[in-house]
Amino acid sequence: MPDLVDPELLRRTIDTALRHGGEFAEVFVEDRRSAGGSFDDGAVESLSSGRDRGAGIRVVRGETTGFAHTSDLSEAGLAEAAAAASAAARGGGGTVEARPFARVDAPRPHEIEVAPESIPKAEKVALLERADAAAREAGSAIRQVSAGFAEGRRRIMVANSDGVLAGDETVRTRFTVNVVAEGDTGFQTGSEAPGYAVGWEYFDTVTPESVARTAATRALTLLDAVPAPSGKLPVVLKRGAGGVLFHEACGHGLEADLVSKHASVFEGKVGEQVASELVTIVDDGLLARQWGASAIDDEGMPAARNVLIEHGILTDYMWDLLRARRAGRASSGNGRRQTYADLPMVRMTNTYLEAGDDDPEDIIAGTEYGLYCVQLGGGQVNTTTGDFVFGVTEAYLIEGGRITKPVRAAQLIGNGPETLKLIDAVGNDFDTWAGTCGKDGQGVPVSAGQPTLRVRELTVGGTAA
Amino acid sequence: MIEPEELLSLAKKVAERAEGNEEVEAYVSASRGTEVRAYDGDVEHLVVSGSQGIGVRVVVDGREGFAWAGSLDPDVIDATVADARDNAAFAQPDEWNGVTRPEEVEGVATPLLDLWRASMLDVGTDEKVALALELERAAVASDPRIKTVESAEYGDGIGASAIANSLGVEAMTRRTVCSLSTVVIASDGEEQQTGYGFSVGRELDDLDLLVPAADAARRATRLLGATQIPGRRIDIVLDPLVSASFLGLIASACNGERVVKGRSMFADRLGEAVGSDIVTLVDNPTNPLAYGASTHDSEGVPTRRNEMIVNGVLTKFLHNTYTGRRSGAGTTGSGVRGVSSTPGVGSRALSLAPGTATPEEILADAPRALYVQSFSGLHSGTNVVSGDFSVGATGLLIENGALAQPVREITLANTLQRMLQNVSAIGSDLTWLPGGAAGVTLRINDMTMSGA
């Protein structure tokens, strides 16, 4: 892969950034291309393409980080941004002489097989039409279908005064279907949007028809759904469905920046039992094909598999370069940013709860009465208290050890650390979910995964009288 | 480049590239800003940002193509126009597609709004840093139980945008904004609760740093001692901040894009009573007090006052040019977009017609109700197609007309349709908030609360 910017120019930019002092300086260069198409109401609505490139420069001096960015990658543009970052880094503190560059040789999690740009637009548009047809065939109650594809290619280059010089290229592809169905109880919606960090080989395993059928079935199922029960119930989360819950309710609390600001319930608990012994939680930036995978993070550090909780014991937090430097340890490869115009911070990549030994069928059969969740909507967590709330977009009652009626309008509400302790069965299956994780106004692609598992008791907020 | 005249001149040059029967529209924006975050008595970071971009729509024979770029370099603009043109060839024709026509901007006077304060150009970095540091000190000093200030931030932005199309419609605007915001953590033994506060304005004189400090501290400390309570049916009183997000949901059901595509619970209910008769919902971007105020929408159409619900009756949907043509209702000047997307439909300055009761009077008249300080999971737990509403909440029980026991881990459920019918009091305390809506104390009867 050719360099986005000549390393000699990056060297001069770092020197400019450090000219008024500072212990650390970094240049992050990004070139991002995206394309997508949307289908709605029986027709291809629009195709779009986007291009964004630029560099973000940061200087750390004492306790203060100065940051500036530019979309001008010329020598003059980079020098101007470096000078602005230098002026913004106003803290006291020492100075450092930049070290010579050494290229970071980080293994890629997987190779991209088919460049999305190589596929003719007409062929892409045809996929949208197939999805529309499949969704409408799923049932006569289907009223509206919209479908879309999105592809993105992101090239980055990072250089810093510690001598790091690294580059990476990631490609992401996603296909989305949203459906509205109408029945006696009014309108219901269903959606499905699997995403992977792969090229057009995505469609070797995901078909427009499969995505469309899943979304359509979801909407149709809800037409027959009964109001969800309320109160404390056992909750079984189907494989893949609940990863986002652990991402939100536990993962964020394990980010070192929140821990150091006393905004995490997990502060000071390394080495302690914080979860059921059945629980092992891992963040793995190298998990092949997954939405949050890359060779390096956005600070040039190799992505890695980091065990956060092992058999219930808290083993480590996730770290970016800045927090790791202050703690006198190495980064865990979790420094990420949305674009070149944003400062990096501690972020998750692919976070999952490892599979266990139980047969998923046995977990359901062993539950007398409870809720079986197949898809969760978004959620929210207060990392300081650990309290979370999640919307449930597809769920069923479990009665007498069997999955029975679909339910609607349910919320799961609880506390992250308490929920981890209440997991009493972990299946031997596994699946993931792709999404955008928001923190401090920045969104980055992540995946979350988990086997089918049961939480002994969780508050379900439904509308049943 | 930040002068709107320069952006407009650039947009016009791009629009003039239309060939044959093509329609071309260029939307150009540029902004710069500063963000200072204080932590533990120091500046944690100081960010100097500047960005610019262009979005180009090409419509030919009813086929629409779009491309955008985060740069205004001539070679990038050339490539963007070419991409948009190429993309148009693959879309299917839609008779309602097309850029804004001159007749669609006629007959509505462009509101006079001054959203620009030249004083913001003269604010030095030292002054911004001092405000962030002072805010952090004020937050700590506001209550002895505030042990940690998670963040204390000063932010500002100066932005300009312009739009021009090949049919001769054009518009430009510029604005300034600044804000102070803080998130604090209140502690009592092992228990911690968070609260936030903000102050926002168009120039520094509009800001009052004691307000965010005191608001954040009050919101955090009053939740200390929160317990779980058993579920029951309950009346709720929404804090003004919370009512603004509830209004956002209702406005979303009035969104013309949702309506023409059958994705709104209101789609076929125009003229019907959808709320209690005290509910009048208005979107008025011509109000200079609203932070979302704007002279034009993002398709160059002048904004205007739109009344969506009047005394409980659904009277109007919001439209951009596409949904306006398709529905036959015409655009309401409600196109919204960023550089990287085609225009959608949205509200900018949403508010309820205020009532006459003070917040204290509403509390006094709501025995055993729940005062809601925040909703969580609002977007995943609500559905403006079906009307389902089921969200998490934190708040305090109301006893003897005052806020009493704080509660946690509860959910509130109902349908949006019934909630609108059950609005039983609207306060007189209308407050414009960042994010395009005004908040007001609001009572809604008969929710399902589940808890422990």
Tell me whether residue B168 is exposed, middle or buried, using C-beta atoms within 10 angstroms of its C-beta: 0 to 12, 13 to 18, 19 or more: middle
The C-alpha atoms of residue A83 and residue A320 are separated, in whole angstroms, by 24
Q: How confident is the model at residue A461 (pLDDT cuts 50, 70, 90)?
A: confident
- The predicted-structure confidence for B355-376, as pLDDT tens digits, reads as follows 999 999 999 999 899 999 999 8
Residues of A in contact with B413 (CB under 8 A): 230, 409, 411, 461-463
- Whether A380 sits inside 8 A of B376 (CB atoms) is yes
Q: Which residues of B touch A65 (CB under 8 A)?
A: 44-46
Q: Is B229 on the interface with A (CB under 8 A)?
A: no
Tell how strand B388-399 and strand B370-376 pair up: antiparallel
pLDDT value at residue A377: 82
d(CA A288, nearest CA chain B) in Å: 29
Following DSSP, what letter does each residue of A133-164 receive, concatenated? HHHHHT-TTEEEEEEEEEEEEEEEEEEETTSE
Question: Which chain A residue has the Cα nearest residue B388?
Answer: A409
**Residues of chain B contacting residue A462, judged by C-beta atoms under 8 Å apart:** 390, 413, 450
- May I ask the CATH architecture of the domain B4-221? 2-Layer Sandwich (3.30)
pLDDT tens per residue across span A431-453: 999 999 999 999 999 999 999 99
CB of B1 within 8 Å of any CB in chain A?
A: no
Partners of residue B394 in chain A, C-beta under 8 Å: 387
Instruction: Tell me the CATH number for domain A116-154+167-220.
Output: 3.30.2290.10
Q: What is the mean pLDDT of chain A?
A: 94
Pairing state between β B350-352 and A186-192: unpaired
Phi first, then psi: give them for residue A187, nearest 5 degrees.
-100, 145
Give the closest residue to B111 by CA, choosing from B252, B289, B254, B310.
B289
Q: How far away is chain A from the Cα of B137, in angstroms, using its nearest Cα?
A: 16
Those of residues 281-310 in B touching chain A at CB distance below 8 A are none
Q: Which residues in chain A touch residue B75, judged by CB atoms under 8 angstroms apart? A: none
In percent, how much of chain A has pLDDT > 70?
99
| Burial (0-12, 13-18, 19+ Cβ within 10 Å), B189 | exposed
Q: pLDDT digit string (tens) for B374-384?
A: 998 787 778 89
pLDDT band at residue A465, thresholds of 50, 70 and 90?
A: low
Q: Give the pairing of strands A64-70 and B42-60.
A: parallel
- Which positions in chain B touch A45 (Cβ < 8 Å)? 64, 91-92, 94
Q: What is the pLDDT of residue A89?
A: 87
Q: What is the spatial distance between Cα A288 and Cα A112, in angstroms, rounded to a whole number?
A: 11
What is the reported pLDDT for A102? 96
Chain A touched by B231 (CB under 8 Å): yes
Quick check: B261 contacting A, CB < 8 Å?
yes
Q: Do A69 and B49 touch (CB under 8 A)?
A: yes
Q: Which helix (H) or strand (E) holds A329?
A: none
Helices (H), B222-298: 240-253, 256-260
B109 at interface of A, judged by CB pairs closer than 8 A: no
Q: Out of A46, A69, A414, whose CB is closest to B64?
A: A46
A463 vs B388: CB contact, 8 Å cut-off?
yes
Q: Which residues contact A325 (CB under 8 A, 6 or more apart)?
A: A24
B430 close contact with A: CB closer than 8 A? no
A-interface mutation test, from B90, B97, B227, B266, most A Cβ less than 10 A away: B90
In sequence order, which residues have a C-beta less than 8 Å from that of residue B349 and are 6 or more positions away? B283, B284, B285, B286, B287, B290, B291, B292, B293, B436, B437, B438
* Contact at CB, A385 and B40, closer than 8 angstroms: no
Q: What value, to the nearest 5°, has the Cα angle with vertex B87 and ends B81 and B89?
A: 115
Q: Which of B83, B91, B262 is the closest to A143 by Cβ?
A: B262
Distance from CA of A105 to the nearest CA of B (A): 30
Confidence class for position B24, pLDDT limits 50, 70, 90 = very high
| Residue A150 near residue A143 (C-beta atoms within 8 A) | no
Q: What are the pLDDT digits (tens) for B25-36? A: 999 999 999 999
Q: Which chain B residues have a beta carbon less than 8 Å from that of A460?
A: 450
DSSP three-state, residue A245: helix
Say which of A50, A186, A341 has its CB closest to residue B51.
A341
Of A381, A319, A378, A310, nearest to A349 by C-alpha is A319
Nearest Cα of chain A lies from the Cα of B428 at a distance, in angstroms, of 31
A384–B385 C-beta distance less than 8 A: no
| Confidence band for A217, pLDDT divided at 50, 70 and 90 | very high
**Residue with token string 């960005």:** B51
B49 touches A: beta carbon within 8 Å: yes
pLDDT at residue B451, as a whole number: 74
CA distance A282 to A159: 28
Residue B452 has pLDDT above 70, yes or no: no
Closest-approach residue (CA) in chain B for A186: B386
A194 min Cα distance to partner chain B (Å)? 18
Q: Which two tokens stand for residue B226?
A: 């929160």
Confidence of residue A91 (pLDDT cuts 50, 70, 90): low
Q: State the nearest Cα–Cα gap between A465 and chain B, in angstroms.
A: 8
Instruction: Search chain B and give the residue with CA nearest A460.
Output: B450
Report the alpha-carbon distance of residue A258 to residue A263 in Å, rounded: 5
Q: Chain A within 8 Å of B412 (Cβ-Cβ)? A: yes
Which pTM value belongs to this model?
Answer: 0.93
Which residues in chain B are classed under CATH 3.30.2290.10?
A: 4-221
Per-residue pLDDT, averaged over A57-69, amounts to: 94
Q: Which of A33, A38, A58, A71 is best to mutate for the B interface (most B CBs within 10 A)?
A: A71
pLDDT in tens, B97-114: 999 999 999 988 999 999
Q: CB distance from B407 to chain A under 8 Å?
A: no
The arithmetic mean of pLDDT across residues A288-297, rounded, is 98
Contacts of A230 in chain B (CB under 8 A): 231, 411, 413, 448, 450
By C-alpha distance, the chain B residue nearest A83 is B48
Return the pLDDT at A381. 82
Degrees, nearest 5: CA angle A134-A139-A145: 55
The reply to whether B92 touches chain A by the CB within 8 Å rule is yes
Backbone angles phi, psi at A132, to 5 degrees: -60, -45
Distance from CA of A48 to the nearest CA of B (A): 5
Q: At what angle do helices A121-137 and A208-223 cross, to 10 degrees?
A: 30
Name, in order, each residue with C-beta under 8 angstroms of A451's C-beta and a sequence gap of 6 or more. A239, A353, A354, A355, A356, A360, A426, A427, A428, A429, A430
Instruction: Inform me whether the pLDDT recorded for B286 exceeds 70.
Output: yes
Range B168-172 average pLDDT: 97
* pLDDT the model gives residue A408: 86
Task: Please answer whether residues B81 and B55 qualify as being in contact, where contact means their C-beta atoms are separated by less than 8 angstroms.
Answer: no
By the 10 Å C-beta count (0-12 exposed, 13-18 middle, 19+ buried), B218 is classed as: middle
The CB-side HSE value for B284 (13 A sphere, CA atoms) comes to 16
Largest pairwise CA distance in chain B: 73
CB B225 within 8 A of CB B188: yes
Chain B interface test: which of A80, A123, A411, A418 (most B C-beta within 10 Å): A411
User: Which ranges in A162-285 belong to alpha helices (H)?
Assistant: 202-205, 208-223, 243-246, 256-260
A64 chain-B contacts, CB cut-off 8 A:
42-46
Written as one string, the DSSP assignment of B283-301 is E-TT-TTSTT--SB-TTSP
Write out the residue limits of the CATH 3.30.2290.10 domain(s) in chain A. Answer: 116-154+167-220
Q: For A260-264, A399-403, B420-424, which range has the lowest pLDDT when averaged over its residues?
A: A260-264
The DSSP result for B130-177, as a single string, is HHHHHHHHHHHHT-TTEEEEEEEEEEEEEEEEEEEETTS-EEEEEEEE
pLDDT value, residue B287: 96
pLDDT band, very low/low/confident/very high, at A248 (cuts 50, 70, 90): confident
